[in-house]
Structure 1
Amino acid sequence: MIVVFRWLLRIFTGLVVLALVATLIGYYFLSRSLPDYNESFRIEGLSGPVEIVRNDANVPHIFGKTDEDVYFALGFAHAQDRLWQMVTMRRTAQGRLSEVFGERTLKIDELMRRYDLYGLAQSSVEAQDPETRAALEAYARGVNAWIAEVNADARGRGAPEFFLFSNEIAVWRPADSIALIKLMALQLSSHLQSEVLRARASLLLPDARVADLLPDVPGAGVIALPSYASLVPGPFPALRKAEHVEDPLSPFHTKSLSGASNAWAAAPSRSAAGGSLLANDPHLGFTAPSIWYLARLQLSLGGVIGATLPGVPAVLLGRSNRLGWALTSAYLDDQDIHIEEVNPENHEEYRTPDGWKRFETRRSIIKVKDARPITITLRWTDNGPVLPGTHYDLAAITPPGHVASLSWTALSPADTSMSAAVRLMKAASIDEAIEAGRLFVAPAQNLMLADTQGVALQTVGAMPRRDPAHQSKGRMPSPGWIAGNRWQGTFPYEENPRVVTPETGILGNTNNKTVDRPFPLHVSFDWGDTQRIQRWLALMKSREVHTRESFIEAQLDTVSPTARNLLPLVAADLWFTGEAAPEGTPERLRQRALALLAEWNGEMNEHLPEPLIYMAWMRALQDRLIRDELGPLADEFDHLQPDFVERVYRNTGGASVWCDIIQSAATESCTDIARMALDDALVRLTEDWGPNVESWRWGDAHQATHDHPTLGQVPVLRYFVNIRQSTSGGDQTLMRGVTRGTGPNPDENVAGAGYRGVYDFADPDSSVFITSTGQSGHPLSRFYDNLGELWRRGEYIPMSLDPGLARAAAVGITHLEPAAAAD
C-alpha cells in the first residue's frame, strides 16, 4: 500500500511539475507579443523621425514632422496594442470570419457578403480627397510595419489569440479602414429592424393597438399608416420566434444597440469659467478590450486628442485647442426595405416600374474552416441588395414569390465619410467643422460642436429623399415596383438639422427627437429616446451656469425618469393597502417590496434593492400585457417600452384594453395585472437572491460584461480575459447601462458609455477622458483593464496637449526612424 501511495505521489508531483513547465512555456510565448514601449525601430515608409510617447495610462502622444508620419505612427501604435481586434473587425466586414472560426460564423459571413461592405469600401478609396488618401496610405504602412516586425522578430505572432489560429495576417490596406467605418454604420442603424417589427405587429393587431405598442414621439407631422397587409398582400408565413444573426467574435453586432449616446454643450455665456463646455459619451456594446482607443496626434495645424477606433486614422471624438466635437446617433431614417416581386416565368427577373428587369447577380465562395466551402448567390436590385428571409426574420413579412431588398445610404460606392473625419480633426472653428460634415454619408450622426466662441449641433449623413406619396413613409416595407416607394436621391446638406449659437446657450441630445418637420423632411419617425432627455433637461435647468464638474455629474447621473414616472401610475391602487400580512406569505413579500419602492427616488444605484425590484416588475408587467396578443412576437420586446406602459395605465386611446387577458373568462383590470406581475417578479427574485429583500443589490445582477469576443466563452480562459464589474445605471438613465433583457441573466449590463469625455475651453488642458477597459488588447498587459475600475467609479484621466506633461510620467517612448537613416 505504501509503494502504491509513493508512486501516486510521484505521478502527481510529476504532473504538477509538467503543468508548471507548460504554463511557463506558454507564458513565455504569449508574453512575446507584449510590446516594449521603449524600443527604437528603423522602418521603411517614414520621411523623418517620429516619437510615440505613452503617458502613465498608456495613451500614445505622437510627434512627427509631417502629418503622414503621424498617421503612420498611429497605425503602428494601434497594431501594437489592438492587432487582433483590428484583424477580426476587418474579417467581419469582409465576410471572412468562417475561414478562421468555422461554421459558427457562417451566417454573419453570408450577411456581410450580401451587403458587400468591403467591396463598397474598396470603391470608396478613390472618392476620398488627396489628403485623406495620403492619411489612409500612411496609416496602412504603419500597421504593416508592425506586422513585419512581428514576423521578423518572432514577437509572439502579434497577439496571444493568433497562437490559436494558423491563418496569416494579411497586409492592411486603405480600404480596410473605410470598411470599419461602414461596419460602424451597420452597428448604428436600426430602421431595418424597426420596419420589420412594425410590419409584424401590423399583421397581428388593429392600427390603434400598433400605435400603443410602437407609439409616435409627441409632435405634429406624423401621418397615420395603412396596415401592412394593405401594402403587401399576403399570404404571410405563420409568426414564429425571430432568428437574429449575431457575430460573437466582433465588437459589432447585427442586432442593433444604436439607441444610446449622449452629448451636451454650453456656450461661454452659460459657463462659470467663461469658456465653452462639451461632454460626450457614445454607447455601444461592451467588449474587452473596448472598441475605443485614446490617442493624441500632433498634426501640422496643431494637436488633437480623444478617442480613435483601432483601424481608422482619425480622432473620431475629441478636441483640439480650438474645437471640440462629439457624436450621437441621429436616428435619421436611412434604411428602407422593399418587397420585390420575382417574375414567376423567370426567377432571374424582378418587377420594376418599367417592367421586368434582371437581378444583378454574382457568386461568392465562403471558405469554412474544417468544412467544405459554401457558394452563395448575391443578388442586387435597383433598390439595393437582396437579403434572405433567414436574416432579420424577413421571411415573416415576405409573401411567396417575393424577396426583400434594402436601400441604405451606407451602401454608397463613393462614401466620403472618412474624408469628413480627417477634415473635422483639422477644423479651426464651428463653421469649418460644419462644412467638413458635408462629406459624411453614413452613419448619420448628430455632430455636437464647441469652440472658444460658441456651440452648435449639425446632423451629418446623407438624408434620403422620399416621394411625399410613399405608401408607408419609410416606416414599413413597401412594394419596390411602385415608383413612389423608391428613393429619389438625397436632400441637400443644408436640409439637415442645424442649430448654431442658440439663445439659451445650451445644446443637448440623448437620441431624442430633434426636429418637428413634416414628411419627407421629418428626419425620422422612430427615435431612440423619450426618457433620458427629461432628466437631462431637469439637470440643465437646475443652474444658471455650468462647469466641467456639473457636466461630469450629468454624465454619471443614475436617476431613472422612467421609474419616477411609471411607478406612481402602475402602483396607484397598490400602495399601503390592507393590513400587514403574516410573515412568509407572498402578500407580505409584496408589501415589503412596495414599501421600499414608495420611499425610492428612482436612483439606479448598484447598492440598492429597489432598482432590481423595479426592473423585474416592469419586465413581468410588460410580458403579461402583450403575451396573449402577440404570442411569439412578444419575445421581440425584450426591453421595457415606457411609452407603451404609460399609455396603458393612462388609458390613452383606450389602451387599457391590453390589461384584459383574452383567454380568461374574467375581465382583468390594470391593477390586477400590476399585482400579478409584481408577484411574478418577486418569486423570481427570491429564487435568484434569497428571501431577504433588503439584502438584494442591483449591482449583483447589473454586472457590466466586458467580454473578450473570441476567448470569452472558453472555459478557464474566460476568467482571465473577461472583465466583470458591479455597475449602477439602467436602460433609461443618463449613465446608461443597457440590460441584456433575455436569458437567465436579463439584468446584465451589456452596453453603455465605452468612452466619456468632457472638454472645458476655459482651460482646455483640464479636459478629462476615460474608456471602459484599457488601452491594450493583450490580456497579459497591465494596460488591459487599468482604466476599467476608474470608469466603474465614475473617474476620469486628464489628457493634455502639453508635450511636457505627456513626457513627465511616460511609461515608454518609442522611436521610429526612417530606414534610410541607418546608412
Structure 2
Amino acid sequence: MFRLLKNLAKLLLALLVLAIAGLAWYVYSKQPQRSGQVLIAGLTAPVTVRYDELGVPHIEAGNEPDLYRALGYVHAQDRLFQMEMLRRLARGELAEVLGPKLVATDRLFRTLGIRVHADAYAARWIKDKSGSPAIQAMQAYLDGINQYQDSRPAPLEFQLLGIPKRPFTLADSISAAGYMAYSFAAAFRTEPVLTQVRDQLGPDHLKMFDLEWKPDGAIRKGLQNEQQTARLQAGDWQDLTRLARLSAEALEAAGLPAYEGSNAWVVAGARTASGKPLLAGDPHIGFSAPAVWYEAHLKAPGFELYGHFQALNAMAALGHNTQFGWSLTMFQNDDLDLIVEKTNPENAQQVMYHGQWLDLETREETLKVKGAEPIKLQLRRSRHGPIINDALDASAGKAPIAMWWAFLETENPLLEAFYELNRAATLDQARTAVSKIHAPGLNVVWANASGDIAWWAAASLAIRPEGVNPAFMLDGSTGAADKLGFQPFSGNPQEENPARGYILSANHQPAATTPIPGYYNLWDRAQRLDELLRSPSTPWTMENSKALQLDVQIAYGPRTLAPLLPALRAAVTEPAEQALLEQLVGWKGAYDKEAVVPTLFTQLLFELAREAMSDELGEAAFNNLRRTRALDHGLPRLMADAASPWWDRRGTPVVETREDIVKAAWAATLAHLRKTLGADSASWTWGRAHTLTHKHPLGQQPPLDKLFDVGPFAMPGGRETPNYQAMALGPAPWAVTTGPSTRRLIDFADAGQALGINPVGQSGVWPDRHYADQAAKFAQGGYRAQHLGERDVATHVKSTLTLRPK
C-alpha cells in the first residue's frame, strides 16, 4: 500500500510538472519575437529591427513602404490586443466579446456615428487619394499588422475572451481617431448639467460658474407660447443625466484610456544653457496597461524619426529627430454642441428646421452580444447630427437631442496632417501640416535645431450666430444651432518665435482676438509653469526642466480655502483638530507624498461641494458635475460668495449659511478620514491615500487583476499640479486615473540624448519582461534615454530581428 501511494504521489507530481510546463510553453508561445528572422510578404528588401534594453524597436528599411510594413508588424506583436479593444470600443463592438455589460457602451458609440463616418471617410480617402504617401504608409502599416495576426498565435486575451481574428482596416484607424476626439469632448458631460442649473435653479445659482447669461438662441424655461421652442420635461432631464453618466462611464467600462489635458513648453536657445531650443512635453491621458504610446525609432533614406505611436496609426503623434520635434496638448475648444429638437405634435419623426417640419433620417444597426440575442438599434439623425438619446435603451423623455460634432462635420485630413508633421523641419512645413488638423482641437508646440520655436492652436473653429452661448444646450427649431462657417486657420491662436523666448501650453484658455468657447482647464497650472519659465536668471537645462515637469505645487488649494478660514476657525474648537486646521492654514499648495494636508484639503473640498450642491442637483447630476472642469472653476467662486443660494439646504425649515455648511463639511471630512485611513491623523499621508494602478481591461474581473494590473504606487502631485496625477473629486482614498502618458525632454543641441519615460512598459503582452519594466521608475519621477544616434543605438542593442521578403 505504501509503495502504491508513493507511486501515485510521483505520478501526480509528474502530471503537475507537465501541466506547469505546458502552461509555460503556452504562455511563451505568445511572447513577442525580438530576434531571428521572419518572412514578410510585400517587402522589397530586408528590414532590420534592433531592440534596445527597454524593448524599443529601432527599425531601418530601404524605403518607406517597407519601413511602415515593419512598424505594423512589430507594433502588433507588442500591442495587438490593445488594437483590437480600441477598434471595438470606437466601433461599438465590445459586447460581442465582453457580454451584456458592454451593451450600453456599444449603444453609445453606435449612436455617436463614428463607425458610419469612418467607413465613409476611409472609402472616400482610398478612392480620391490612393496614391498619396500618407495612405500608402497607412496601408503598408495595416498590412504589417494583419500579417502578424495571420501568422502568429492569438494573444492570451483573445483566447480567454474568444475573440476571432479579422483584418484591420483603414476604417478601424479612422474609428480610433474618432474615439480620441470623443474622449476630449467635455461638452457631453458639461452642457446638460449647466443647462439644468440655469433652467431649473436660475441665474443666481449659475453665478459660480462665471458664465454670461445669454438666453437668446438657447433653451429657455417658462415661455408663454410653448410651441415656439423646444422644452425639456422631467423625463428629458433624466435622459440627459443618464447620458452624461454613460459618457463618462463608457471609457471606464472598456478599460481604455481617455484623453484629458497636457503640458508642453519650448524655450528658445537664448534662454537655454546649450544655446539651442529645449522642448518639453507630457500629454495627460488616462493610465492603463498597456500604456497608450508605443515608441519606435524609424529610419529610411531621407527620413528618420523617434516617434510615439497610438494603436492603429502609422503616423507618430509625438516625435523628434536631430533637426526638429514637437509635443501636443489638448486645445479644449468646444467642438460639440447638444441641440434639443422640436418635434411635430402630429409626427414624432419630424423636427422643426428653419420653419419646416423635416423627417429624421433613420438607420438600423445590429449589436452582437456574447451569450445573448443580438440587439437591433434604431438610430436617428437630424440636420444637426445624430440623435444621441437613442443611446438609451428605454428613454424616459420625449425631446430628441442632436449632437453637432466637428469631427463628423469637417474634412479633417488628420492622417495627412501627421504624415507631414512627421517630416516638418521648417516653420512653413510645420505650420502647413498643423493647419490640416480640424478635430479634435490640439495645441502643437514645435521647435527645430535652427532655433525656431512655435505654437499653433489647431482646429476648425466653428462660427456660431451672435449671442449664442454653446456652454448651454441649443434650440434646434431656431437658427441658434446653425454654423456660419469656420474661422480660417490664420485666425487661430498661435505664436512663432516670440520675444519673451518661451511658449507654454497647459490647456488654459489662450489669448485670442475673439474669445473661443471651450472647456479649459484651471489657469493655476499654467500660471505656476509660466511663473517659473518667466524667470530671466534661469538658463534652462535638462535637469531643471525635469524639476519643472515633476513640480507638485499649485495655488488652487490656498486660494479656494482663503475665504473659508474665518468660518473654519469658528467651527473648530477641539485642540487636536485645531492643530490640523493650522496645518491647512499654512499650506502653500504642495502635494507631496509624505504630507497630510493635501489629503485633508481634498476630502474637505469634496464634502463642501456635496453639502452645498447635491441637494439642489440630486446625486446623479452632482456626480456628473464632479467629472467636469466647470466644477473646478466654480468652487473657488462659490467659497468666496457667502450670499450664494447654494449654501441653503433644501428641505429644511431654516436657511443654512456658508458657516453652517463649512462646519458640517469639516465634521464629515474628519469622520470619513478616520473611518478609511485610521484614527491617527499622522497616517493620512497623500501617498497612502492617492495611488496609481495601471489597469488592464481584463483586470476588471478578479482575480485577473492580480495578473494583468500594474501597481499600486503611491503618487505625489494631484489635480492640475504640473506633475498632473488626477482623479475625480470624491471621497478618499483616491485612485489616480489620469496623468503624464509620457514625459519627454529634448535639447536640440544634442537631440540624440533626449529623455523620456513610459508609465508602464513597451509591451502589452503579459508576462513579457517589458510589460511593466518602467512602471516603478515612472512613479518615482524617473527618466531614461531615448536612443537616436547610431553609436548610441548600437551600444544599447539587446537583440536583432530581421524581416525578410517572403
Give me the TM-score of the superposition, normalised by structure 2.
0.91
Which residue of 2 is the match for residue 143 of structure 1? 145
Q: What is the alpha-carbon distance in structure 2 between the residues aligned to residue 350 and residue 338 of structure 1?
A: 12
Which residue of 1 is the match for residue 521 of structure 2? 528
Q: Residue 459 of structure 2 is aligned with which of 461, 470, 486?
A: 461
> What's the offset of the Cα at 1:103?
0.9
Letter in 1 for 2:688: D
Is residue 731 of structure 1 aligned with residue 722 of structure 2?
no
Which residue of 2 is the match for residue 566 of structure 1? 560
Q: What is the alpha-carbon distance in structure 2 between the residues aligned to residue 368 and residue 549 of structure 1?
A: 52
Q: What is the alpha-carbon distance in structure 2 between the residues aligned to residue 105 and residue 692 of structure 1?
A: 42
| Closer/same/farther in 2, CA of residues 701 and 10 from structure 1, 3 Å limit | farther
Determine if contact 1:123/1:413 at 8 Å carries over to the other structure.
no
- Aligned partner of residue 145 in structure 1, secondary structure: helix
Moved more, 242-251 or 359-368: 242-251
Residues matched between the structures, number: 781
**CA RMSD, Structure 1 to Structure 2 (Å):** 2.7
| Closer/same/farther in 2, CA of residues 637 and 247 from structure 1, 3 Å limit | closer
Which residue of 2 is the match for residue 650 of structure 1? 640
Which residue of 1 is the match for residue 226 of structure 2? none
Is residue 505 of structure 1 aligned with residue 501 of structure 2?
yes
Residue deviations 1:569-627 (CA, integer Å, cap 9, x gap): 3224545998xx7xxxxx34422321332343321111222211111111111111212
- Aligned partner of residue 428 in structure 1, secondary structure: coil
| Closer/same/farther in 2, CA of residues 496 and 26 from structure 1, 3 Å limit | same
Q: What is the alpha-carbon distance in structure 1 between the residues aligned to residue 766 and residue 181 of structure 2?
A: 28
Residue deviations 1:30-62 (CA, integer Å, cap 9, x gap): 221102201211211112111111111111111
Which residue of 2 is the match for residue 538 of structure 1? 531
Unaligned stretches of 5+ residues in structure 1: 217-221, 582-586
Letter in 2 for 1:102: G
Moved more, 507-516 or 637-646: 637-646
Determine if contact 2:66/2:140 at 8 Å carries over to the other structure.
yes
Which residue of 1 is the match for residue 470 of structure 2? 474
Letter in 1 for 2:752: D
> What's the offset of the Cα at 1:771?
1.4
Q: What is the alpha-carbon distance in structure 2 between the residues aligned to residue 636 and residue 110 of structure 1?
A: 20
Which residue of 2 is the match for residue 552 of structure 1? 546
Q: Counterparts in 2 of 1:234-249, with a 5 A limit?
A: 234-237=232-235, 242=242, 243-244=245-246, 245-248=249-252
Is residue 102 of structure 1 aligned with residue 99 of structure 2?
yes
Which residue of 2 is the match for residue 34 of structure 1? 31
Determine if contact 2:606/2:730 at 8 Å carries over to the other structure.
no
Determine if contact 1:689/1:696 at 8 Å carries over to the other structure.
yes
Which residue of 2 is the match for residue 762 of structure 1? 749
| Closer/same/farther in 2, CA of residues 336 and 637 from structure 1, 3 Å limit | closer
> What's the offset of the Cα at 1:549?
2.0
Letter in 2 for 1:540: L
- Aligned partner of residue 54 in structure 2, secondary structure: coil
- Aligned partner of residue 449 in structure 1, secondary structure: strand
Residue deviations 1:707-761 (CA, integer Å, cap 9, x gap): 101x202223211211121111111211111124447x55111111111111111
- Aligned partner of residue 264 in structure 2, secondary structure: strand
Is residue 637 of structure 1 aligned with residue 625 of structure 2?
yes
- Aligned partner of residue 56 in structure 1, secondary structure: coil
Q: Counterparts in 2 of 1:77-88, with a 5 A limit?
A: 77-88=74-85
Q: What is the alpha-carbon distance in structure 2 between the residues aligned to residue 642 and residue 378 of structure 1?
A: 35
> What's the offset of the Cα at 1:662?
4.3
Is residue 445 of structure 1 aligned with residue 439 of structure 2?
no
> What's the offset of the Cα at 1:306?
3.1
Residue deviations 1:435-469 (CA, integer Å, cap 9, x gap): 10121121110111112322111111221121225
| Closer/same/farther in 2, CA of residues 655 and 32 from structure 1, 3 Å limit | farther
Q: Residue 786 of structure 2 is aligned with which of 776, 789, 799?
A: 799
Q: Counterparts in 2 of 1:228-267, with a 5 A limit?
A: 228-230=219-221, 232-237=230-235, 242=242, 243-244=245-246, 245-248=249-252, 250-252=254-256, 258-267=259-268
Determine if contact 2:287/2:694 at 8 Å carries over to the other structure.
yes
Q: Counterparts in 2 of 1:405-420, with a 5 A limit?
A: 405-412=402-409, 414-420=411-417
Q: Counterparts in 2 of 1:298-313, with a 5 A limit?
A: 298-313=299-314
| Closer/same/farther in 2, CA of residues 377 and 239 from structure 1, 3 Å limit | closer
Determine if contact 2:230/2:341 at 8 Å carries over to the other structure.
no
Is residue 689 of structure 1 aligned with residue 691 of structure 2?
no
Determine if contact 2:37/2:801 at 8 Å carries over to the other structure.
yes
Which residue of 2 is the match for residue 708 of structure 1? 696
Determine if contact 2:266/2:445 at 8 Å carries over to the other structure.
yes
Is residue 200 of structure 1 aligned with residue 196 of structure 2?
yes
Q: What is the alpha-carbon distance in structure 2 between the residues aligned to residue 106 and residue 9 of structure 1?
A: 54
Query: Between the two proteins, what is the percent identity of the paired residues?
Result: 26
Q: What is the alpha-carbon distance in structure 2 between the residues aligned to residue 54 and residue 252 of structure 1?
A: 27
| Closer/same/farther in 2, CA of residues 19 and 237 from structure 1, 3 Å limit | farther
Q: Residue 687 of structure 2 is aligned with which of 682, 693, 699?
A: 699
Moved more, 669-678 or 748-757: 669-678
Determine if contact 2:387/2:402 at 8 Å carries over to the other structure.
yes
Q: What is the alpha-carbon distance in structure 2 between the residues aligned to residue 465 and residue 729 of structure 1?
A: 38
> What's the offset of the Cα at 1:86?
0.4
Determine if contact 1:388/1:394 at 8 Å carries over to the other structure.
no
Q: What is the alpha-carbon distance in structure 1 between the residues aligned to residue 207 and residue 519 of structure 2?
A: 12
Which residue of 1 is the match for residue 585 of structure 2? 598
Letter in 2 for 1:563: G
Q: Residue 784 of structure 1 is aligned with which of 744, 768, 771?
A: 771
Q: Residue 71 of structure 1 is aligned with which of 39, 43, 68?
A: 68
Q: What is the alpha-carbon distance in structure 2 between the residues aligned to residue 238 and residue 100 of structure 1?
A: 32
| Closer/same/farther in 2, CA of residues 807 and 249 from structure 1, 3 Å limit | farther
Is residue 492 of structure 1 aligned with residue 485 of structure 2?
no
Which residue of 1 is the match for residue 386 of structure 2? 385
Residue deviations 1:746-802 (CA, integer Å, cap 9, x gap): 511111111111111122122111111000001211100011111111111111321
Q: Counterparts in 2 of 1:162-241, with a 5 A limit?
A: 162-212=158-208, 214-216=209-211, 224-225=214-215, 228-230=219-221, 232-237=230-235
| Closer/same/farther in 2, CA of residues 525 and 44 from structure 1, 3 Å limit | closer
Moved more, 641-650 or 229-238: 229-238
- Aligned partner of residue 375 in structure 1, secondary structure: strand
- Aligned partner of residue 229 in structure 1, secondary structure: coil
- Aligned partner of residue 141 in structure 2, secondary structure: helix
Letter in 1 for 2:220: A
Letter in 1 for 2:250: E
Q: What is the alpha-carbon distance in structure 2 between the residues aligned to residue 178 and residue 299 of structure 1?
A: 26
- Aligned partner of residue 577 in structure 2, secondary structure: helix
| Closer/same/farther in 2, CA of residues 168 and 721 from structure 1, 3 Å limit | same
Determine if contact 2:384/2:481 at 8 Å carries over to the other structure.
no
Letter in 2 for 1:215: D
Determine if contact 1:515/1:523 at 8 Å carries over to the other structure.
no
Q: What is the alpha-carbon distance in structure 2 between the residues aligned to residue 42 and residue 13 of structure 1?
A: 44
Q: What is the alpha-carbon distance in structure 2 between the residues aligned to residue 342 and residue 637 of structure 1?
A: 29
> What's the offset of the Cα at 1:655?
4.6
- Aligned partner of residue 44 in structure 2, secondary structure: coil
Moved more, 628-637 or 500-509: 628-637
Residue deviations 1:550-577 (CA, integer Å, cap 9, x gap): 2221111111321232233322454599
Moved more, 81-90 or 225-234: 225-234
Which residue of 2 is the match for residue 219 of structure 1? none
Which residue of 2 is the match for residue 350 of structure 1? 351
> What's the offset of the Cα at 1:505?
1.2
| Closer/same/farther in 2, CA of residues 500 and 717 from structure 1, 3 Å limit | same
Which residue of 2 is the match for residue 118 of structure 1? 115
Determine if contact 2:47/2:66 at 8 Å carries over to the other structure.
yes
